[in-house]
Chains A and B, each alone.
Chain A
Amino acid sequence: MKQSWFEERGEAFWRGHDELLGALERGGKHPRSASLPQEHAQICSMLALARERRYTLGLIDRLEELALRGQRVLYAGRADPEPPFRGLMQRFPRAVREHWALHVLAATLFYGPWIFGMILVANRPELATMVVDPSTLIQMEQMYDPSGEVQAGERTLSDDVAMFGYYIWNNVGIALRTFGAGAALGVGSGLILVYNGLVIGAVSGHLTAVGLGGSFWPFVIGHGSFELTAIVIAGAAGLKLGWGLVAPGRLGRAAALRAGAREALPLILGAGGMLFIAAGIEAFWSPSRVIPDEVKLAVGATLWLGVLGYLILGGRTRHAR
């Protein structure tokens, strides 16, 4: 068939299909919406014919454009095969247990430097300034000084909300960065874990050494359960990404990275959720002056048990899966 006859026969159909696609692309309706799959199939077979018969590139381009747009519109209505948030409460602890070795590694990378920093500063207090900026240390001392402005001064609900926003922006941001940086062979995640562990260790060691542990530990124990655990999980998720590139196994490296991201996603989403909870506790519960320290310590310990219990027991089903 000569190209001009082909064009003559197809022209009206192509125009109509273009109009249908336009309407659906704008999210609207069209009287022929239901015949989209049929029309799309027809466009595809026309494209194949045009190629086979070596019609001109202009015509092939035009049909290909219609087919590509049709493909997007047709499959836009397809249900997401794996909605990332569905069943997350169950999938999150399951994923943590499945990758327990990575979590042990991440916890070591975080708590190892922490303990190291604490012991270092306890024995050689002057070394604290090597890890943490001296002005930051002074600021920390003021923050936890029982007679200081922060502890004894007036604290309003507005201040709590301000801190809530700060904790979300800062802490959830750190967790997401710890995860994302993992794609760089896991090095990014590892460095963030070690650095944060060391700094927090040095600060807590320093505060304890100067005698402010009494106001520091009751403050951090409550939200620490969610916050510190979530940082470790975010780090493990990042290491999972990097591990795919380091040791892809039977897959190609790109495919391994993709598979790693699929498995790590529930981890980072869960960790992010935990940090939102941590931000709430840290802003509204931890700084409260009404609640006695004994209660804060008891509740904090309960929260730690709760978080660990959830991660160990959550998402288990009776039946083998």
Chain B
Amino acid sequence: MAAALDTRREIETPEGVVLSERVAGPLPRAVAWGVDLLMRALLYMILATILEIAGAFAQGLMLIVVFALEWGYGVAFELTLNGRTPGKLVLGLQTVMDDGTPVTTRASIVRNLLRVADFLPVGFLLGLTSALVDPYGRRLGDLAGGTLVVYRRAAAAERGALPPGPVIPPPTPLRPDEQQVLVDLAQRGPGLSLDRRIELAELVGAGWGLSGSAALDRVTAVARFVRGDAPGEAPAPAPAPARPGDGAAP
């Protein structure tokens, strides 16, 4: 199902279904890293101003805090915030194991320590190369830890019933995948311009000898039948825009 071009990783779960993770590419990850860098810089500035007044003792403490932030920032947030650092939170990303389960302590430590290698020789060149070569966009740290950085799913838009209207059975039997395409087309309608909808509907309607808005109306009506929507009042038919090459509806 997933084309080789798709940045999806399919995971078979113990429940016997295949779930697909949408893997994040280098750019959003770089931006997330930048946000985290900014966060740390801000923290350092605040710490520095507080400790400036204090003496050598505080300087020692400061360096310990810097150490903890430099090396522990990623691990601490990934383990407490469901695999997200503040940067990933902003970008809608999440670190997970490559089987889709939450990131483990071991994996988080490994992937964050190996950021050093990904940074080599300059400016994350090695990590970028690895992310571009790997089909799932993993840098060396991800490969070693067995982790993925994925997009957090936004709650899927609810596309329930189609707007009420006539229900017409298809003039010819439809294969299951044809039915799926038909209903998807009808449901996606509101996101497309009328011209585009008619254009797409004509691809289907041509086989039924229909064109123009008649094809769109018929496709929608058949989609209702396929979905099993209850027949309802047909809305007032919108006047079809005059289009060159519109054939007469049968």
Write out the residue numbers on chain A whose beta carbons fall within 8 Å of the beta carbon of B156.
58, 61-62, 64-65
Write out the residue numbers on chain A whose beta carbons fall within 8 Å of the beta carbon of B70.
173
Interface size on B, residues (CB 8 A): 65
Bound CA span A76–B101, Å: 7
Write out the residue numbers on chain A whose beta carbons fall within 8 Å of the beta carbon of B63.
162, 165-166, 168-169
Most interface-central of B57, B145, B230 (chain A CB within 10 A): B57
A203-221 vs B, Cβ < 8 Å mask (1 yes, 0 no): 0000000000000000000
Determine if A93 is an interface residue (Cβ-Cβ < 8 Å): no
Q: Are A258 and B120 in contact (CB under 8 A)?
A: no
Bound CA span A193–B177, Å: 61
Bound CA span A4–B177, Å: 17
Query: Which one of B100, B144, B157 contacts A261 once the chains associate, using CB atoms below 8 Å?
Result: B144
CB distance from B157 to the nearest CB of A (A): 7
Write out the residue numbers on chain A whose beta carbons fall within 8 Å of the beta carbon of B226.
2-3
Bound CA span A105–B141, Å: 24
Q: Are A68 and B19 in contact (CB under 8 A)?
A: yes
CB distance from A253 to the nearest CB of B (A): 8
Determine if A56 is an interface residue (Cβ-Cβ < 8 Å): yes
Q: Are B100 and A71 in contact (CB under 8 A)?
A: yes
Q: Summarize B's interface: helix, strand, loop or mixed.
A: helix
**Known contacts A54-B176, A163-B60; A4/B100 CB under 8 A:** no
Write out the residue numbers on chain A whose beta carbons fall within 8 Å of the beta carbon of B146.
258
CB neighbors of A among B130-174 (8 A): 134, 140-141, 143-146, 153, 155-161
Q: Are A261 and B57 in contact (CB under 8 A)?
A: no
Query: Which one of A72, A182, A269 contacts B102 once the chains associate, using CB atoms below 8 Å?
Result: A72
Q: Are A169 and B67 in contact (CB under 8 A)?
A: yes
B54-69 vs A, Cβ < 8 Å mask (1 yes, 0 no): 0111011111101100
Write out the residue numbers on chain B whose beta carbons fall within 8 Å of the beta carbon of A59.
159
Q: Are B179 and A54 in contact (CB under 8 A)?
A: yes
Determine if B201 is an interface residue (Cβ-Cβ < 8 Å): no
Most interface-central of A68, A179, A265 (chain B CB within 10 A): A68
Determine if A202 is an interface residue (Cβ-Cβ < 8 Å): no
CB neighbors of A among B36-70 (8 A): 55-57, 59-64, 66-67, 70
Query: Which one of A75, A161, A254 contacts B101 once the chains associate, using CB atoms below 8 Å?
Result: A75
**Known contacts A72-B96, A261-B145; A165/B61 CB under 8 A:** yes
Bound CA span A182–B230, Å: 65
Write out the residue numbers on chain A whose beta carbons fall within 8 Å of the beta carbon of B155.
18, 62, 65
- With both beta carbons as reference points, the residue of chain B lying nearest to A18 in the complex is identified as B155
Bound CA span A180–B119, Å: 10
Write out the residue numbers on chain B whose beta carbons fall within 8 Å of the beta carbon of A4.
161, 227-230
Q: Are A71 and B13 in contact (CB under 8 A)?
A: yes
Determine if B195 is an interface residue (Cβ-Cβ < 8 Å): no
Q: Are B126 and A184 in contact (CB under 8 A)?
A: yes
- Beyond the given pairs A69-B153, A83-B105, A188-B120, 16 more chain A to chain B contacts, judged by CB atoms under 8 angstroms and listed by A's residue number, are A2-B226, A41-B15, A54-B179, A56-B180, A56-B183, A64-B19, A64-B20, A67-B13, A67-B15, A82-B104, A162-B60, A173-B67, A241-B117, A241-B144, A257-B140, A265-B109
The 4 A-B pairs of least Cβ separation, nearest first, read: A2-B228, A180-B116, A165-B60, A165-B63
A-contacting residues of B (Cβ < 8 Å)?
13, 15-17, 19-21, 55-57, 59-64, 66-67, 70-71, 82, 96, 100-102, 104-106, 109-110, 113-118, 120, 126, 134, 140-141, 143-146, 153, 155-161, 176-177, 179-180, 183-184, 187, 226-230
Task: Offer 21 A-B interface pairs, CB within 8 angstroms, sorted by A.
Answer: A3-B183, A3-B228, A4-B227, A41-B15, A53-B176, A55-B180, A57-B180, A67-B19, A68-B21, A71-B13, A76-B82, A83-B106, A156-B56, A161-B60, A162-B60, A183-B140, A241-B144, A257-B143, A258-B146, A261-B114, A261-B144
